[in-house]
A and B are shown apart, each in its own frame.
Chain A
Amino acid sequence: EVQLLESGGGLVQPGGSLRLSCAASGFTFSNSAMSWVRQAPGKGLEWVSGISSGSSDTPYADSVKGRFTISRDNSKNTVYLQMNSLRAEDTAIYYCAKKESGAAPFDYWGQGTLVTVSS
């Protein structure tokens, strides 16, 4: 059974930093691309960042470029999202999602972790 378990969310002040983790199991993690997708309270889904299976490709949404960094550790079956210079508009539930390489949908999602940016 595929499982994706996010952690690391919480309350942080504007300008602060947070590191999210997503622990994966039930599939060959090293063969799968991963992404982070967020959902602001009561809003729709916004893709944030992705990482290829071998970490060579790491695209970002314009809204987070230069502030967020995605990475992965295939030995630990974990993907990370380092979030710096956080803003109020980054407040959202952050989901990690799995996809196959190339043009493919997100076939499995985690339950999400809530990030609240507020003073």
Chain B
Amino acid sequence: EIVMTQSPATLSVSPGERATLSCRASHSVNSNLAWYQQKPGQGPRLLIYGASARATGIPARFSGSGSGTEFTLTISSLQSEDFAVYFCQQYKNWPPSTFGQGTKVELK
């Protein structure tokens, strides 16, 4: 099973600032990496797939990069609606598909 590790666990950011979230895979997943956003009381929403492609309707301030074992999600200028928990997921080797433990982006 591929283990996904996210850092930091919590990121405190002010509106308008840049946020950088990291995700590391225990083995190479090539570019088979997705990022999701989850707000309280809601199911996750797909933001990024293929490590860098934005899903339908996702604003351009969200960008993904990386390949192999190291990945980054960048939110260029945080908006109020971006405060949420973000998960990465590998889908190269499944089953099982595995997720990181999440990064909470909170208001500084």
Contacts and interface: CB of A to CB of B under 8 A. Distances in A.
Contacts of B96: 47, 59, 61-62
Contact of B95 (A50, A99, A106): A50
Contacts, number: 62
Nearest to A109: B43
A62 B89 CA distance: 18
Contacts of B69: none
Q: Which residue among B34, B43, B49 has the maximum number of chain A CB atoms within 10 Å of its CB?
A: B43
Interface string A45-64: 11100100000000111100
B93 to A, nearest CB: 9
Contact of A103 (B32, B46, B55, B87): B32
B99 A45 contact: yes
A111 B101 CA distance: 19
A111 B43 CA distance: 5
> For this complex, into which size category does the number of interface residues on chain A fall?
20 to 34
A47 B99 contact: yes
Contacts of A45: 36, 44, 87, 89, 99, 102
A14 interface: no
B54 interface: no
A44 B99 contact: yes
Nearest to A47: B97
Interface string A93-119: 001010100011111111110000000
Contact of A105 (B43, B46, B101): B46
Contacts of B87: 44-45
B62 to A, nearest CB: 14
A58 to B, nearest CB: 10
Interface of A: 35, 44-47, 50, 59-62, 95, 97, 99, 103-112
13 contacts: A44-B101, A45-B36, A45-B102, A59-B96, A61-B95, A95-B44, A103-B92, A105-B46, A105-B91, A106-B89, A107-B49, A108-B46, A109-B45
